[in-house]
Chains A and B, each alone.
Chain A
Amino acid sequence: MSVKTPSKLEKIMAAGHLGVTSECGPPRGSDPEVIKEKAGLLKGCVDAINVTDNQTSVVRTSSLATCIHIKLMGLEPILQMVTRDRNRIALQSDILGAASFDIHNILCLSGDHQSFGDHPQGQNVHDLDSMQLAWTARKMRDEGTFLGGNEIKRPPEMFVGAAANPFADPFEIRVPRLAKKIAAGVEFIQTQCIYNLDKFEEWVRQARERGLTEKCYIMAGITPFKSAGMAKYMKNRVPGMDVPDDVVKRMADTPKEKQAEEGINICVETIQRLKEVEGVAGFHIMAIEWEEKVSEIVERAGLLPRPEID
């Protein structure tokens, strides 16, 4: 795949290296030091940092403002944008705003339903869906025009990503859905957290058979369990999550004081196994409010040092 944007993440994966990303959730306040501290923990161990967009429908500092802070620190942000809160005018406007700070990555999502958050009585917008947002970002970049058709002066240059959940239902369309996202213009995928490796590998195999891994970089989603309780919660309470019983048992059989370490061990083993899977182009490590562990995971999984790319 040829490089189409100035995105460092794109260049690294295009050069054949495994890409590594992590994420930074903006604070529920306006203190920029919180952002700088979190992002600082990821310096040197990832290629780019996702910035979540009011995740779980809880109000936080905006993704765009947080991306700017991270960019000004000399790090590479990935602007997450959900279609829940903004219509096509606001979405395109924020893409331009991000482009004006030379933010070169976008991740297009529909967003958690607002009923999960702290404003369940709010409206949702969904003027576009996540695929249509990806299509919009590509049109803005490649054709240099807005959805309305007018020309953009200095179009955005963004590497366009989306999420995929290899475990969600209905299973019949998990791969067709990936194909559709790629047809919409998605160039990289970050997957849902992977605990069922067999099922994930089957999904990648089917994607490979359709030639999809030649058209799109697939980054495997990794989230360490902090405790056996978290494993059970993810299995039972988080929609679309597939945590096999043996993984939950492994956490539960570990003494409480060693569970966090065991969670990291599982991550490292997962990365080591998936590194060998043809079609896996990188890893997206979502250490939720546990950013300080990312460097350890990346190091133990043999993903350091990160490649230097111009």
Chain B
Amino acid sequence: MIVADKKPVEEIIEYVKDCKKVLVLGCNECVTVCEAGGKKEAGVLASTLRMYFANQGVEDAQVDERTLERQCDHEYLEEIREIADQYDAIVSIACGVGVQFTAEKYHSIPVFPGVNTCFLGVTEQRGLWTERCQACGKCILAYTGGICPVSRCAKRLFNGPCGGSSNGKCEINKDLDCAWQLIIDRLIAIDRLDLYEKLFDIKDWSTDRAGGPRKVEREDVQI
């Protein structure tokens, strides 16, 4: 999933402090799972903003909340078509994708981000999400024991750990696993340490962000 984290509410207040009518727009997908931008968080943020306006003596301020199934699909975003125009601003607490798609769709309404979009990751435990993928566009997991050096090594090294790997941990942070320790452990477990000995070709980064904004176009599923 796309993992996001809440923005400090002061930052959001700074965006909307001069608005009279604000819509807080949640998303029912990834950001709900990572508890940053779902229905529950939309409610909490809307209440906080209402309290802020009340404390400021802005009596005619109105903060509404709504949570869509997704903010990355036309059909769900269309659900606010009829009401969007009445707001001075929308605070989207979806990931950066949702914020942008909302802004694209409602061209004349300011749309502000309510979360920081962090990475593609997993829920390791309640309240702990960690990165697994950087969407480089050319998956190499078949050769690295199913563990990704691009997303999990601080130097995205392809041919083994740097000299700073110590007791299975990364040199930049003792709480962080060394990706290459994980890869080697896994290659041993699946009896494929031979894969380590092959020199990794220089990566084609043109499918990564380096190649510019990307798209996937599939004629077979287009209508």
A170 within 8 A of B: yes
A88 to B204, CA, bound (A): 11
From 144 to 174 in chain A, residues with beta carbon under 8 angstroms from any chain B beta carbon are 147, 163-165, 168-170, 172-173
Question: Are A170 and B163 in contact, CB atoms less than 8 angstroms apart?
Answer: no
Closest chain B CB from A200 CB (angstroms): 14
Q: How large is the interface on A (under 10, 10 to 19, 20 to 34, 35 or more residues)?
A: 35 or more
Question: Are B160 and A165 in contact, CB atoms less than 8 angstroms apart?
Answer: no
Question: Are B161 and A168 in contact, CB atoms less than 8 angstroms apart?
Answer: yes
B162 within 8 A of A: yes
Question: Are B155 and A110 in contact, CB atoms less than 8 angstroms apart?
Answer: yes
A5 within 8 A of B: no
Residues of A close to B197: CB separation below 8 A? 176, 179-180, 183
Question: Are B160 and A239 in contact, CB atoms less than 8 angstroms apart?
Answer: no
Please, could you name 20 A-B residue pairs with CB atoms under 8 Å apart, sorted by A?
A: A113-B155, A115-B172, A116-B172, A129-B155, A129-B200, A132-B200, A168-B165, A169-B166, A169-B181, A172-B184, A172-B188, A173-B161, A173-B196, A179-B197, A180-B160, A183-B197, A239-B171, A240-B164, A240-B165, A240-B166
Residues of A close to B181: CB separation below 8 A? 169-170
Given A128-B202, A173-B196, A239-B166 contact (CB < 8 Å): yes
Residues of A close to B180: CB separation below 8 A? 170
Question: Are A177 and B160 in contact, CB atoms less than 8 angstroms apart?
Answer: yes
> Which chain B residue shows the least CB distance to A83?
B155
17 A-B pairs besides A135-B202, A239-B163 with CB distance below 8 A are A84-B155, A88-B202, A124-B155, A129-B200, A130-B157, A131-B158, A131-B199, A135-B199, A168-B161, A169-B178, A170-B181, A172-B193, A176-B196, A177-B161, A183-B197, A192-B163, A240-B171
Question: Are A113 and B171 in contact, CB atoms less than 8 angstroms apart?
Answer: yes
Q: How large is the interface on B (under 10, 10 to 19, 20 to 34, 35 or more residues)?
A: 20 to 34
Question: Are B166 and A170 in contact, CB atoms less than 8 angstroms apart?
Answer: no
Residues of B close to A110: CB separation below 8 A? 155, 157, 162
The 4 closest A-B pairs by CB, nearest first: A165-B163, A239-B171, A239-B164, A131-B159
Residues of B close to A94: CB separation below 8 A? none
Residues of A close to B85: CB separation below 8 A? none
Closest chain B CB from A306 CB (angstroms): 28
Closest chain A CB from B173 CB (angstroms): 8
A127 within 8 A of B: yes
Question: Are B184 and A126 in contact, CB atoms less than 8 angstroms apart?
Answer: no
Closest chain B CB from A56 CB (angstroms): 11
Closest chain B CB from A126 CB (angstroms): 5
Residues of A close to B196: CB separation below 8 A? 173, 176, 180
Question: Are B184 and A173 in contact, CB atoms less than 8 angstroms apart?
Answer: yes
Question: Are B161 and A170 in contact, CB atoms less than 8 angstroms apart?
Answer: yes
> Which chain A residue shows the least CB distance to B194?
A176
B167 within 8 A of A: yes
A184 within 8 A of B: yes
Interface string of A111-147 (1 = CB under 8 A from B): 1110110000000101111111001100000000001
Question: Are B205 and A127 in contact, CB atoms less than 8 angstroms apart?
Answer: yes
A116 to B156, CA, bound (A): 17
A88 to B158, CA, bound (A): 15
A20 to B184, CA, bound (A): 34
A99 to B126, CA, bound (A): 55
